[in-house]
Amino acid sequence: MTQNHPMFKAFRVEEVDGQYKGTIKTVPFDPLQDEEILVKVHYTSLNYKDALSATGNKGVTRHYPHTPGIDAVGVVEDSKSDTVKVGTKVIVTSYDLGMNTDGGFAEYTKVPAAWAVQLPDTMSMQEAMIYGTAGLTAGMSVLRLTELVKPTDGKIAVSGATGGVGAISVSILCKLGYSVVAITGKATETDFLKKLGAAEVLLRSDIENFDKKPLLKPLFAGAIDTVGGVILENIIKATSSMGVVTCCGNAASPKLELTVFPFILRGVTLIGIDSQNYPMPYRTKVWEKLAKEWKPANLAEACTEITLETVQSKIDQILQGQIKGRTLIRING
């Protein structure tokens, strides 16, 4: 295959005079090493981390030129692994993909076989990338939360609810019978969140302005927080006895300024979600659930599909907080 087609298209970010710019380039294939696979990418997706990589954020990507894309789904075209065979449909998300390893914004990507999850039979490639890392992170959060909190225990808050992780979390929780309070900074998106199934919508400014007391009136039996900072602080302080809060993001702030009172007086549990290096057995479990009992009926409604040629404009939009739901990029589909 690589002999017949020695080059392929990729969205490459390069540094020119201190500025970072992404354009579609034709690049050569690199030889596969032992335990590596070559995936023909059918779909990828746009994430905030991809936008950071595309603008030269050295906390995400250290070396350029670089191909972003922390998500990819496609078919294995070549393999130097006994565990992943040619022709297998695979999902590749997180680990180092799209960070310092060239990612999914390309016709092909070369990755360690250990990063690949076989695409479930009941999931299409489009669905896999509507989920992507955001869906995997949402699924991990839901898995940990629902192990300890039941729908009858009370309301569940979801912060950053119009984002990828937030929107998918709202959809899954509502399908499982939970009453969801969606927290957002976008007052215009109330109808969108209600359509996903949210019972209530709480504006970010409201929760940011909660009382500064170390404990607040219990409002939530649990929460999935995607933003961190003051919002996470106030969610924790407003969580009821034996409640559970998961945390997977720090867009607002990585810092928490609160006392131990919610933890030792109410028994609140704070669970961190690490989607980048989540163990493979749990990844497989989450993907199977996303493919079956967790799959929302309205999954595609939270998605916009674009092509690689238009990705730059969407990168600008996501950095400005102007994108809701998921952005799917069709490569070879």
Pick the range with the lowest mean pLDDT from 3-12, 39-48, 248-257, 312-321: 3-12
Give the mean pLDDT of the chain: 93
Q: Which residues contact 147 (CB under 8 A, 6 or more apart)?
A: none
- Per residue in 28-53, pLDDT tens? 999 999 999 999 999 999 988 999 99
Sequence-separated (6 or more) residues with CB below 8 Å from residue 298: 171, 195, 196
Confidence at residue 4, expressed as pLDDT on a 0 to 100 scale: 58
Is residue 82 within 8 A of residue 74, CB to CB? The reply is: no
What are the angstrom distances between the C-alpha of 160 and each of 56, 163, 228, 273, 292?
25, 6, 10, 15, 25
Q: What is the mean pLDDT of residues 67-76?
A: 97
* Cα–Cα–Cα angle for 122, 128, 132, rounded to 5 degrees: 150
For 174, residues 6+ apart whose C-beta sits below 8 A from its C-beta are: 180, 196, 197, 198, 296
Judged against a pLDDT cut of 70, whether residue 3 lies above it is answered with: no
Of residues 58 and 4, which shows the higher confidence score? 58
> Which pLDDT score is estimated for 277?
86
Please determine, for residue 268, whether its predicted confidence score (pLDDT) is greater than 70.
Answer: yes
Q: What integer pLDDT is reported at residue 176 of this predicted model?
A: 95
Range 99-104 average pLDDT: 96
Q: With 90 as the cut, is the pLDDT of residue 243 above it?
A: yes
Residue owning tokens 């890392």: 133
pTM summary value = 0.88
* Contact by Cβ (8 Å): 172, 138: yes
| pLDDT over 90 at 145, yes or no | yes
